[in-house]
Structure 1
Amino acid sequence: MPRRASAEPRKHPTQRRSTETVDRIVAAAARIFDERGYRGTTTNHVAEEAGVSIGSLYQYFPNKDALLVALAERHIEDAALRFGERLALLRERQPPIADTVRSLVDLTVELNDTSRLHALLFSECPRTPALTERFDRFVDVVVAELVWHLERTGLGGDDPLLRARLAFASVDAAVHQVVLAAPPGRRRKAATNELVELTLHGIGIG
């Protein structure tokens, strides 16, 4: 995704009232992006939905790309929390690798299968340095756990880190570009099942 005009926030809230204002703006942006898409969304729409002046919005967000970045940051925070809980459970229970892969693929689909907004975050959100760094930290945590599971099951091969990174990247891309493009219901479930099978094959199962 090419960089557009600066998508960095103008300032960060420091007081409770300003934090609440920013939270209202970001929540409104989520609704408007979901309803109107990227091209149909303007900062005026978001300000009106949030019940704030356009000047108040511009204190924190210079443009709609900055709003997308804020939404992406919150999405990554939520994903990190949910994956952290799931990874801790999998490490405790140590299920067969097929169940481990199924659990993580299902969670990836679940976290991104809620609205049109998540498709916009994947395709339209500028990759600012701060956002990229945050996502990379999240990936490193998940990949490290995948390495641990591959090694405990004897499926790490000559380079378990490379295998884990390839598995993560393949699942992430497939979920956004293929699985979520399938209609909800049986077609999406079938796509998810196929992704699990392909992932298992890639790490040496089947």
Structure 2
Amino acid sequence: MAPPAENPFSIARYWEQGDAIGHAVAWLLLAMSLVSWFFILSKAYSTWRVRSAAGAVDAFWAAPTLDDGIALLSHADREGVYAPLPTHGRAQLAAASTLAGEMSRDEQVIRILRQQITRSTHRVEGGLTLLASIGATAPFVGLLGTVWGIYHALANVSTSGAVQIDKVAGPVGEALIMTGFGLVVAIPAVLAYNAFNRFNRVTLAELDGFAHDLHSYFTGK
């Protein structure tokens, strides 16, 4: 029985025939994929915790006292997105001897709530720029590997002096693998980025509404 024909388009052949630049592009795509998936999984867990704490806002307003409401919210809000607003708002109002304490009550509340919303926004949006960058650049990194692989293959053919279609098709087909790898890295990153942005818009809208309610509570006392 004749031995099976060797696959001319295998990743192993591409790696064997590749040079340092081709290998560097492959390692870069692997690193981008690992970083992307680590962030996707960690951010998904963090987002789940934030969304689970959103219902505690209603429990905060149902509490008999401000201290009880803050305790309930702090226990549920393990990511620290909602709880800092009433906690820092109450602390700031008690600090009458500070420079901020010389402001009117309304201005103090607006200042501290705006500050905490900014910090919570940074917390829930942290790292999304990295995910967007990977999703945007991974296809081009893969394309770079493909272009370099094709150039490398054609250079080897030109030095051999004889142009045969099987000698060109194999290396070129193997080089196209890098474009596929780039897309494999980019597609999950882009989908995850869009999903996280959707959840963040909902969270920030709820946070803004919570801040308005707290403003009315602190300034109406």
Same fold? TM cut 0.5: no
Return the structure number with greater relative CO, CA threshold 8 A, min gap 6.
2
TM-score normalised by structure 1 residue count: 0.35
- Greater radius of gyration (CA): 2
| Higher-helix-fraction structure | 2
TM-score normalised by structure 2 residue count: 0.33
